[in-house]
C-alpha cells in the first residue's frame, strides 16, 4: 500500500506486490515534487499498464512516446 497526503487529505493506493507499489510511489513522488498532483488521472488498471510500459522501456532507455511513434 502507498499512503500519501494530497490537498490535506490522505490517499491510499493498494498494489498487488512490492514492485508495483514502488512504481506507484515513484509516480506519486514525481507528481508531488513537480507540484502537479493531478497531471495523470487514470484508472488503476490504466495506471498499472502505463507503469509497466515505462518500466519495460527503461531497460532500453526509450521514452514511452518515442516507442509509440515508432
Question: 9-32 burial, b for 16+ CB within 10 Å, e for fewer?
Answer: eeeebebeeeebeebbbebbeebe
Number of domains in the chain: 1
Structural domain including 33 reads 2-69
Q: Per-residue pLDDT tens, the chain, 70 aa: give them.
A: 888 887 778 889 899 999 888 888 888 888 887 776 655 567 788 888 988 998 899 899 988 888 988 8
Q: Is 0.85 surpassed by the pTM of this model?
A: no
Amino acid at each position: 500500500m502507498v499512503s500519501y497526503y494530497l490537498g490535506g487529505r490522505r490517499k491510499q493506493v493498494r498494489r498487488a506486490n512490492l514492485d508495483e507499489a514502488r512504481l506507484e510511489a515513484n509516480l506519486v513522488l514525481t507528481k508531488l515534487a513537480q507540484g502537479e498532483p493531478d497531471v495523470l488521472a487514470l484508472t488503476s488498471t490504466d495506471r498499472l499498464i502505463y507503469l509497466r510500459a515505462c518500466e519495460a522501456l527503461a531497460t532500453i532507455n526509450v521514452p514511452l512516446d518515442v516507442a509509440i511513434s515508432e
